[in-house]
Amino acid sequence: LIGQKAEKEGYKAYAIGGFARDLILGLQNFDIDIVVENNAIEFAEKLVKYLGGKLKTFPQFGTATLTLKDGNKIDFATARMEFYPFPAAMPEVEETTIKHDLYRRDFTINTLGFKLNSPVFGDFLDFFNGKVDLEKGIIRVLYNLSFVEDPTRILRAIRFESRYGFTIEEQTLGFLTNALENNMLAQVKPKRILEELKLILSEKNGLLSMNRSIELGILEGIFGEISNKKLLIRALEETKVHINLYKKKEIKVDNEFLIYVQVILSFCNEAKQKEFLTGLQLDKSQLEDFDFFFNNYQETLQSLKNPRYFSASEIVETLQGYKKESMIVLLALSFNSTVHKRILLYVKEFSNIDIEVTGEDLKKMGLQPGPVFSDIIKKLRKEKIDNNLSSKEEELLWVRS
């Protein structure tokens, strides 16, 4: 239908990128990107009258998103022709514009597409040998400065590598390393970097990409010096284990991505922590949790390291200020140690202990509400946590005494 409409209205439309790439790989991808010559917004505005649905346009980018009645989305972009160091003189053929548009893209495997116009519908576009690279499992840039012009492509490269089990081609890896050595990632705003990291970590093989990013020095290119790379890899793996354990027990874990970032930031210096905390655009309560965590976690881990005996209530006192998401970070940072066991005891047992005596019970005993109340409750809870009280009767007896 899109192709018919394009033909009728005098536009050229192509299905490009991820959709075509995954189709050839035999994978499902409902994310359809359509490139239009010469004006995607105008075309999409005509199309919405024909297909129905809701259209959102972004004139500053020459793009539009059409949400169809069934909820599926189609993105439209105007084919772009800005100057790039194109290797050979461009023959003045029919597909000049789309070829230029594809040449500005990240990797050859993303330059594949299909013509949509009705008379040529389905004609395959492969100007840069993307299909061969796709079949060989190779990630290759189209021009030397690709990573310099858009350093986030460094993160896309390792994301595609792990997602498809592909390899970054040798020369491309050279360009990537070069961009890293020239500190290109430090030029990118934390917000953009975090968006890319989020995409990486939401992939099934996200941790593989994270390992690769540490191995290639990408993470250091972003976060500066990392105190212990091997430990960071291990901590990220542990994070995944604990998130999954929580989920298995049907404990809701909010914003997994933030937990991973918290782990990474624990290995960075304070300046980077601050810079990225701003980039995360946290809400007030998240910011308070993060602040609490970064102000206290080192001291907490250090104090729990002490080999002396810790009563249950002491462990609770040490850990009760942390949110459950931060508890995952503490667990990830302390694997296989006394500290880890103490945190686990807190998570599994002590944090769930609650007293049965209520404020009403205290009132009935003739006590006046006020600071005394909370003091009694606090001490009562301590007694209960240390396992000295096993029923409400015993709790009441303890209060009376």
* CB closer to ligand CTP, 109 vs 207: 109
* Tokens (6 digits) for 174: 């050279």
User: Taking the CB of residue 109, how many other CB atoms lie within 10 A of it?
Assistant: 29
Cβ nearer to ligand CTP, comparing 150 with 237? 150
Residues 29-68 that bind ligand CTP (CB under 6 A): 31, 33
**List 7, 18, 164, 356, residue binding ligand CTP (CB under 6 A):** 18
State the minimum distance, in angstroms, from the CB of residue 186 to ligand CTP: 17
Q: Which of 153, 240, 242, 272 binds ligand CTP (CB under 6 A)?
A: 153
Strands 32-37 and 167-168: unpaired
Q: Which residue has the tokens 């655009």?
A: 281
Closest CB to ligand CTP among 37 and 106?
106
The residue at minimum Cβ distance from ligand CTP is 18
Which helix (H) or strand (E) covers residue 212, if one does? helix 206-215
Asked if 106 touches ligand CTP (CB under 6 A), the answer is yes
Sequence letter at residue 176: L
Task: With CB under 6 A as the rule, give the number of residues binding ligand CTP.
Answer: 11
Cα 116 to Cα 35: distance, rounded to the nearest angstrom: 10
Q: What is the SS3 assignment for 243-274?
A: HHHHHHCCCCCCCHHHHHHHHHHCCCCHHHHH
CB nearer to ligand CTP: give 3 or 17: 17
Angle subtended by helix axes 324-333 and 284-305, to nearest 10: 40
CB of 152 vs ligand CTP, minimal distance in Å: 5
CA-atom Rg of the chain in angstroms: 28
Contact present, 35 and 79 (Cβ < 8 Å)? yes
CB of 17 to ligand CTP, least distance (A): 3
Candidates 7-15, 149-157, 300-308, 364-372: pick the segment binding ligand CTP (CB under 6 A). 149-157
Q: Is 150 in the site for ligand CTP (CB under 6 A)?
A: yes
Among 57, 110, 211, 318, binds ligand CTP (CB under 6 A): 110
- Does 99 interact with ligand CTP (rule: CB under 6 A)? no
Choice from 5, 14, 15, 17 touching ligand CTP (CB under 6 A):
17
CB of 18 to ligand CTP, least distance (A): 2
CA-wise closest residue to 14 among 130, 111, 129, 109: 111
Q: Which residues pair with 33 in a beta bridge?
A: 16, 75
Task: Find the shortest distance in angstroms from Cβ 35 to ligand CTP.
Answer: 10
Residue 43 dihedral angles phi and psi, to the nearest 5°: -65, -45
Q: How many CB atoms lie within 10 A of CB 18?
A: 17
Q: How far is CA 306 from the centre of its chain?
A: 35
Measured from the CB atom, the residue of 153 and 384 that comes closer to ligand CTP is 153
Question: Given the rule CB under 6 A, which of 44-52, 102-110, 166-174, 249-257 is the region that contacts ligand CTP?
Answer: 102-110
In this structure, the strands spanning 167-168 and 138-139 are parallel
Binding footprint of ligand CTP on the chain (CB under 6 A):
17-18, 31, 33, 105-106, 110, 150, 152-153, 156
